[in-house]
């Protein structure tokens, strides 16, 4: 029997690319797709796939919520995260919620396929950049200033620190502009950030984004 896979990503073109990559491999078949956390949960219940490949940045509730709900339904579910988010905080949160492995979208396609095989063998694979982020975090003591943020707040901070405007973040996460601004206010208060520039540097220091990705921000 082929290994059945559920793809979860909010971009249809991206899902199509992953489907083509996966189904070129003998013994792998994509049996369902989902664009958000709610549909991921329903598709998992309907198809009971052998593996879920899931992005964390989804429209509406985050991929962390999708992992949580799927694992509540099936404690043995195998879920491989494939995401642009590479900070140690969000990686640890994904594993704590029930992820089986974590690969960044910056990785070569072969690394995703290698991770798929590893998860199916019962291992907990990470791409090289994710492993380095975790190692840096452990050297620093394993505690981040971002640990008090919710998954949604982490997503908003990551996208903002990566250079997206509040409106772009709202569009990407299917939120209202007011909701994004309210979340940013909570994030600033939680982190003690005095300015937008300070907020970006906190995100860089915590490994949520790298300095090369962060935009120049006025300190006003």
Using 50, 70 and 90 to split pLDDT, how confident is the model at 106?
A: confident
**pLDDT at site 141:** 66
Name which CATH class applies to 3-139: alpha beta
pTM: 0.74
pLDDT tops 90 at residue 82: yes
Cβ partners under 8 Å of residue 71, min gap 6: 77, 79, 97, 98
Average pLDDT over residues 128-154: 78
Enclosing H/E stretch for 112: helix 109-120
Using 50, 70 and 90 to split pLDDT, how confident is the model at 208?
A: low
Average pLDDT over residues 141-161: 77
pLDDT tops 90 at residue 179: yes
Most confident range (mean pLDDT) of 2-6, 137-141, 168-172 is 2-6
* Contact assessment for residue 169 and residue 180, using Cβ atoms and an 8 Å cutoff: yes
Between the alpha carbon of residue 179 and those of residues 90, 153, 174, 183, 186, the distances in Å are: 21, 11, 10, 6, 11
**pLDDT at site 210:** 56
**pLDDT at site 90:** 82
pLDDT tops 50 at residue 197: yes
Tens digit of each residue's pLDDT (9 = 90 or more) over 40-54: 999 999 999 999 999
In order, the DSSP letters of 139-159 are HTTS--GGGGS-HHHHHHHHH
pLDDT tops 60 at residue 219: no
Residue range(s) in the chain whose domain bears CATH number 3.40.50.2300: 3-139
Residue 24: CB atoms within 10 Å: 10
Using 50, 70 and 90 to split pLDDT, how confident is the model at 139?
A: confident
Instruction: Give CA torsion, residues 199, 201, 205, 211, to 10 deg.
Output: 130
CATH entry, 145-205, from 1.10.10.10, 1.10.10.1100, 1.10.600.10, 3.30.70.1170: 1.10.10.10
Q: How far apart are CA 160 and CA 195, in angstroms?
A: 13
Residue range(s) in the chain whose domain bears CATH number 1.10.10.10: 145-205
């Amino acid at each position: 029997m082929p290994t059945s896979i559920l793809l979860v990503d909010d971009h249809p073109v991206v899902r199509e690319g992953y489907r083509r990559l996966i189904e070129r491999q003998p013994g792998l078949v994509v049996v369902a797709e989902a664009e958000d956390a709610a549909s991921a949960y329903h598709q998992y219940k309907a198809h009971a796939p052998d593996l879920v490949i899931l992005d964390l940045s989804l429209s509406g509730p985050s991929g962390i919520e999708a992992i949580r709900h799927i694992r509540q339904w099936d404690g043995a579910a195998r879920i491989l995260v494939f995401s642009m988010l590479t900070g140690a905080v969000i990686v640890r949160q994904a594993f704590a919620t029930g992820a089986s492995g974590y690969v960044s979208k910056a990785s070569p396609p072969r690394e995703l396929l290698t991770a798929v095989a590893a998860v199916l063998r019962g291992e907990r694979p990470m791409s090289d950049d994710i492993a380095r982020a975790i190692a840096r975090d452990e050297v620093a003591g394993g505690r981040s200033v971002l640990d008090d943020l919710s998954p949604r707040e982490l997503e908003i901070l990551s996208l903002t620190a990566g250079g997206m405007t509040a409106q772009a973040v709202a569009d990407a996460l299917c939120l209202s502009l007011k909701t994004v601004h309210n979340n940013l206010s909570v994030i600033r208060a939680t982190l003690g950030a005095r300015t937008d520039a300070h907020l970006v540097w906190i995100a860089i220091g915590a490994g949520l984004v790298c300095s090369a990705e962060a935009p120049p921000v006025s300190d006003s």
